[in-house]
Structure 1
Amino acid sequence: MAVNHPGFSISLLGSEPQGADRSFQYLLIRILTGTAKIHKGGTSFKQDIDYSEISMPTQALSPKKAVNKFLADFGINKTLKHILTHTVLINRTFFKDITYEYVNYFTQRHKGCDTAAFVFLYRILERVLYSVPLIYTTTQTDYYNTFKDLKDILKEEKDGEFGLYNKLIDQGRLIDRAKLDVTYQIDFSSSNDSASFFKVTNGKFKHFDSIDQANAEFTIKFKHVSGLLRTLRNRFFHTRTGDGQLNIKPDDILDPDEYFSYVNPVLCSYLSQIVLHIISHKLK
């Protein structure tokens, strides 16, 4: 089945029930479980990485089995027909925008334009920052306790919507706390510029779980990935002279596309987990 939208189309591998083409939540599930093919601007490619798993394996299951596994893993005890019926109109613009961002991310990454791909990852982060607190409040059955929870969270030092988002994530409001300490590896060792990539990364971000300078490798916990994404965005794209910030200079990273090619998969995995949990919370 081909799903056409302005500027791109998505081929859903395998047969689909009626209405599958109208639910952006379902399209995101298919894209992020690695069971869809993207067509954009004369470029066609299969997105076959399963981002419903933090380990990011290549999808080996059929589309039907992959979707069923996602539903089971994320605690969604609903039929596909129910899901399609109840997601067509729910926050349609929000999930449409997220779908467009992912299509652009995967297209740029397929082209090897990872600096551009990084931009779309940050755009996804900005879109979900406000939605997580809203999801928390709308899924609670006791609004008085909800108000108290939000008030207690806001008592701490304020950092805008990013601070509130991180506090809700850290408290297990969206994702199980056990998953927050799962670690990713960022390994620059195969690059000819591994030393400079390591130096600039280590100099701009201080919340890695472990650092291995000899192998130009970092380990980072799931819960700290959003901070890395935000830091790289601020230090790489903000270059105003004299602003007092230690921004990334042109000679710090000679090949930005190569640098972000090592970082983007981890950032994408993190964001995909957040997006899939947002979808699942509304379906449970």
Structure 2
Amino acid sequence: MLFLTSTIITSITLRRFIPAASSFRVPSLSPIYSGFSQSFMSSVSVTESADCLQVQGHVQYDTPDHITPSNVHTSPLEQFHIWFNQAREANVREPDAMSLSTATASGIPSSRMVLFKQLDKRGFVFYTNYTSRKSRELEENPQAALLFFWREMSRQVRVLGRVEKLSKEESGEYFKSRPVGTRLGAWASHQSSVIGEDDLVNRLTEVQERFGVQASDKEGDVPLPDFWGGWRVIPSEVEFWLGKPSRLHDRVRYLRVEGSPNNQPQWTIDRLSP
């Protein structure tokens, strides 16, 4: 076990509609990364019957690098920064896609894919409708789990932590950077509510008329809705997983030391059995 004080990165901000290379400063690569290559060996087969579908076998991973507590960064946020940029360099499709899991106050879970938008010194940021199911559950039970899976690299990152809402100023700054059509869509969608077949089209027409812009316009004044904004997941646990042959995968887990300061959190780093 390692007990470490971490050095925290400043911020990563994503803009999907700007070429990725223009919005990042790629840091120096970790010593564990020297150009990515891997191979898959798949022996998956499926057996189907009237009442059952069975899957036999699994993909065998063969990755050249290893991760251990001794060769990862002292901060999980810095380590994520390194891996995320390597995923971009390896042309991983949608490296910003992540699974978000929430639960009701009584513990009933739900998961969905959302887009990671920013990493700052406190945690991972995404944006959504505050009336959606995910937001209602985060209000009831302010804990969340994130999962990034970069199949092309046989890597995944798992994040657990408490959540907090972003300030209206933070959400507004990001909202202004979105395309006009996406901003109109935020007004038109009553997310997670039941709607009729034509309701969404009709609502979009209404908000276009209300703000005097079209979804196809390059510019337009569409304000931030009161019911829309960001959430930040402040990690208490982060695990990095690397697929290896014979299911003997590399797993490195960071646990935040309870009571350590937000501006300089401390972490214990352990290797986990696969």
Q: Which one has the bigger helix percentage?
A: 1
TM-score range, shorter chain: under 0.3
Q: Which one has the bigger strand percentage?
A: 2
TM-score (norm 2): 0.27
TM-score (norm 1): 0.26
Greater C-alpha radius of gyration = 2
